Amino acid sequence: MAAEKLRLRACGSSIGTVSDPVVPARPDGFRGPLRRLVAPVATLAALTAAFAGVGAVDPNEPGHYPVCPLLHLTGIYCPACGGLRSAHAVAHGDLAAALGDNALAVAGYAAFALFWPVWFTRAARGRRTAGPRPRPGHWWALGGLLLAFTAVRNLPFGAGLHP
C-alpha cells in the first residue's frame, strides 16, 4: 500500500488510494475569531443568567429553593451552605452580607471575575486559553481547603462563618 502511494507521488499524480482518510471540508468561518469566543461568552452568559435568577428570587425566604440535605439531616453546614444567599447579596451589591453568608463562595466569584477577562482576551487574540492542568496535589489542596472551611464553620469559634 505504501509502495503504491510512493509510485503515484513519483508520477506526479495527486490521486490518493482508497485507504486515504476522508477529511470533511470545513467552511472558512468555522475556525474564525467568533468561534474562539463561544466558550468564554457562553460561560459568562450562563453565570449572568444564574445570578439574575438568584437575584430575582430571594433565597432568604423559605420555599423558593430546596434546603441543603446535609444541614437538614445532620445540622452541619456544608461548604456550599449560604452560597445562594451569597449570590443573591452579590447580585444586589451587598458585599458584606455576601461575605457573611459564604466567604468561600465570594472568593470563587472574585476568582472568576479576575480570570474571565484573561480567558476572553486570550481567546480573542487566538492564543491558547487552557492553562496548565491541575495536578493531583492541587485537587488534594482544594479538598483540604473545603474540608477545613467546613470544619471551622461548624466549630464554636467559627460562628462568624455560619450562613
Predicted confidence (pLDDT) per residue in 21-80, tens digit: 655 555 554 566 788 889 899 999 999 999 999 999 989 888 888 888 888 899 889 888
Asked if residue 27 belongs to a domain, the reply is: no
Does 148 score more than 70 pLDDT? yes
Asked if residue 111 belongs to a domain, the reply is: yes
Asked if residue 74 belongs to a domain, the reply is: yes
Asked if residue 13 belongs to a domain, the reply is: no
Give the Å distances, CA to CA, from 59 to 45, 62, 107, 136, 152.
21, 7, 20, 35, 24
Does 15 score more than 60 pLDDT? no
Domain count across the chain = 1
Contact indicator for 77, 100 with CB cutoff of 8 Å: no
pLDDT at 146: 92
Contact indicator for 90, 106 with CB cutoff of 8 Å: yes
Asked if residue 66 belongs to a domain, the reply is: yes
Asked if residue 70 belongs to a domain, the reply is: yes
Asked if residue 18 belongs to a domain, the reply is: no
- Give me the percent of the chain exceeding a pLDDT of 90: 42
| Structural domain containing residue 49 | 34-161
Contact indicator for 64, 71 with CB cutoff of 8 Å: no
Plot region of 88 (φ>0 → left; ψ -120 to 50 → alpha; else → beta): alpha
